[in-house]
Structure 1
Amino acid sequence: MTTLSLFELAKFCRDFVLEKKALAPVILDLRGISTVSDFFVICGAQSEPQLKAIAQGLEKTLKERYGKQPYAIEGFPKSHWVIVDYGGVMVHIFHEEKRRYYALEELWGDAPRL
């Protein structure tokens, strides 16, 4: 199996969520800014079923194609926020309203967007 660099993994996640019709996906480069993760991929969903489909589809696809499993999955569709944690890449999938409320892009405003 092909291995992915963290940057490649972040790009793959962004491209995957776009295919699932996620809203406004963005990659934040946190290298040198945070010890939490190197990259955040942040996107929106319009419904709980879409949020669930994005999270489950991403997990399944990365496992099948690259043998990559998340360290953790936090949250659930009813909470309107799911985080799929691949260590150096954390994918935040928000319901639109929660994304605006938590405003991670503003919180990490000094992080370059890729």
Structure 2
Amino acid sequence: MTETTTLVKTITKGIQDKKGKDIVIADLSHIDGAIANYFVICQGSSPNQVEAIAEAVAGACREEMSEKPVGVNGLGNNQWIAIDFVDVLVHIFQPDTREFYNLEELWEDAKLTKIPNID
């Protein structure tokens, strides 16, 4: 397992710890010109949950892998928070915003892996 795939698993665990839903991992590694190797996309049902998921992802990556994001955008409005780990971009949406931007369709050439929700 590469460091990048371990990072994706750690991010997924952070999302699940805060009950993030509908997680999709988009593998962009074979797409020329892609801005990252992976997107991890999920959603929270409220602004507070979106922020809590972002904090959990950052905390899990820091504690388990000594990884810190190079950038975080969207904190404060909490409709869409993007966390940049260079090789992996994490997108945490509220449902309406996720539907509007539809990143899964935008990167339709990517291999998509859907992670089952944990209740």
Q: Same fold (TM over 0.5)?
A: yes
Q: Structure 1 residues 7-16 or 37-46, which shifts more?
A: 7-16
Unaligned runs of 5+ in 1: none
| Mapping for residues 1-114 of structure 1, pairs under 5 Å | 5-33=3-31, 34-114=33-113
Determine if contact 1:51/1:77 at 8 Å carries over to the other structure: no
Q: Which whole-Å deviations, capped at 9, do the CAs of 1:59-90 have from their partners, x for residues lacking one? A: 12211222110010011242500011100001
Unaligned runs of 5+ in 2: 114-119
Q: Structure 1 residues 99-108 or 32-41, which shifts more?
A: 32-41
Q: Cα–Cα, structure 1 residues 79 and 20, in superposed 2: closer, same or farther, change >3 Å?
A: closer
TM-score scaled by structure 1?
0.90
Say how many residue pairs are matched. 111
SS at match of 2:111: coil
Deviation of 1:113 after TM superposition, in Å, equals: 1.2
- Return the alpha-carbon distance in structure 2 between the equivalents of residues 10 and 55 of structure 1: 14
- Return the alpha-carbon distance in structure 1 between the equivalents of residues 109 and 3 of structure 2: 23
- Return the alpha-carbon distance in structure 1 between the equivalents of residues 84 and 76 of structure 2: 16
- Return the alpha-carbon distance in structure 2 between the equivalents of residues 62 and 100 of structure 1: 27
Q: Cα–Cα, structure 1 residues 35 and 107, in superposed 2: closer, same or farther, change >3 Å?
A: closer
SS at match of 1:40: strand
Q: Name segments (4+ residues, structure 1) moved above 2 Å.
A: none
Percent same amino acid at aligned positions? Answer: 33
- Return the alpha-carbon distance in structure 2 between the equivalents of residues 77 and 44 of structure 1: 16
- Return the alpha-carbon distance in structure 1 between the equivalents of residues 13 and 112 of structure 2: 15
- Return the alpha-carbon distance in structure 2 between the equivalents of residues 109 and 14 of structure 1: 21
- Return the alpha-carbon distance in structure 2 between the equivalents of residues 84 and 29 of structure 1: 16
TM-score scaled by structure 2?
0.86
Q: Which amino acid aligns with 1:68?
A: E
